[in-house]
Structure 1
Amino acid sequence: MNATGNRKISDPVTIERIDDGVAVISLNRPEAANAMNLHLLMAFHAALLKCHGTRAVRAVVVRGLGRNFCAGGDVNDFLAHGDRLPDHVKEVSSWFQAVTAAIIALDVPVIAAVHGYATGGGGLGLVGSCDFVLAAQTAKFKSGAIGVGMVPDGGLTVTLTHLVGFRKAVELILANPTLDADEAMRIGLVTRVVPDDELFDEALALAHSLAQAPPVAVAEAKRLLWNGLGSGVAAALIQEANAEVRLARTADCLEGLSAAVARRSPVFDGR
Structure 2
Amino acid sequence: MKLSAFEFAIKDGVAHITLNQPDRGNPLDGQFAEDLNRLATECTVNPDVRSVLIDAKGRFFSVGGDLNSLARDRRDLANFVSTATADLHMAISRFARMNAPVVMAVHALAAGGAVALVAGADFVLASPAAKFYAAFAGIGIVSDSGGSYYLPRRMGSRRASQFLMLNETLSADEAAAAGLINRVVAAESLNDEAWALARLLAAGPTLAYGEIKNLLISSETEGLEGQLENEARAMARITRTEDAWNAMQAVLGKRKPTFEAR
Q: Within 1, Cα distance between the matches of 2:168 and 2:20?
A: 27
Partner of residue 187, structure 1: 178
Paired positions, count = 222
Partner of residue 75, structure 2: 83
Q: Does 1:36 align with 2:19?
A: no
Q: Within 1, Cα distance between the matches of 2:32 and 2:145?
A: 15
Partner of residue 17, structure 1: 10
Identity of aligned residues (%): 35
- Confirm or deny: 8 A CA contact 2:53 2:103 kept in the other structure: yes
- Give the TM-score, by structure 1 length: 0.78
Partner of residue 258, structure 1: none
- Aligned-residue offset at 1:167: 1.3
Q: Does 1:202 align with 2:160?
A: no
Q: Does 1:56 align with 2:48?
A: yes
- Confirm or deny: 8 A CA contact 1:81 1:88 kept in the other structure: no
Of 119, 134, 137, which aligns to 1:143?
A: 134
Partner of residue 166, structure 2: 175
Q: Map Cα deviations across residues 212-235 of structure 1 (whole Å, 9 max, x no partner).
A: 11221122112211222238xxxx
State how 1:84-123 maps to structure 2 within 5 Å.
Answer: 84-121=76-113, 123=114
- Aligned-residue offset at 1:111: 0.8
Partner of residue 246, structure 2: none
Q: Map Cα deviations across residues 100-151 of structure 1 (whole Å, 9 max, x no partner).
A: 1111112110011112111102x11101111111111110001110001110
The CA RMSD over aligned residues, in Å, is 1.5
Q: Within 2, Cα distance between the matches of 1:13 and 1:143?
A: 23
- Confirm or deny: 8 A CA contact 1:108 1:218 kept in the other structure: yes
Q: Map Cα deviations across residues 54-78 of structure 1 (whole Å, 9 max, x no partner).
A: 1121110011111111111111111
- Aligned letter for 2:10? R
Q: Map Cα deviations across residues 197-248 of structure 1 (whole Å, 9 max, x no partner).
A: 22121111000011111221122112211222238xxxxxxxxxxxxxxxxx
- Give the TM-score, by structure 2 length: 0.81
- Aligned-residue offset at 1:11: 2.2
Structure 1 spans left out of the alignment, 5+ residues? 2-7, 232-271
Q: Within 2, Cα distance between the matches of 1:149 and 1:99?
A: 25
Q: Within 1, Cα distance between the matches of 2:72 and 2:192?
A: 38
Structure 2 spans left out of the alignment, 5+ residues? 223-262
